[in-house]
């Protein structure tokens, strides 16, 4: 059995981030829906999506930088 702790850490980080986003969108927007109604929940989704967009761009930029560095450093 091979133990790759870096792979395990990467998987755990991704799972935690996805879980946090699911909780934010489902629970957060669900509470908006319950207390304020459908139209407010739609606006909440729009605002959450707009806030998530820069984070996605930063993640893509960091992933590309990591890819370039790994490609330039084959060892």
- 3-state SS, one letter per residue, for 19-66: HHHHHHHHHHHHHHHHHHCHHHHHHHHHHHHHHHHHHHHHHHHHHHHH
How many separate domains does the chain show?
A: 1
CB 28 within 8 A of CB 48: yes
Domain residue limits at 15: 5-72
- At 1 the pLDDT is 63
pTM (predicted TM-score) = 0.70
Note the pLDDT tens digit of each residue in 25-66. Answer: 999 999 999 999 999 999 999 999 999 999 999 999 999 999
């Amino acid at each position: 059995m091979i133990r790759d702790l870096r792979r395990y850490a990467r998987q755990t980080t991704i799972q935690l981030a996805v879980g946090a986003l699911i909780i934010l969108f489902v629970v957060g927007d669900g509470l908006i829906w319950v207390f304020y109604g459908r139209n407010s929940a739609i606006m909440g989704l729009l605002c959450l999506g707009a806030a998530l967009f820069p984070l996605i761009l930063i993640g893509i930029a960091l992933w590309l930088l990591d890819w370039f560095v790994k490609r330039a450093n084959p060892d």
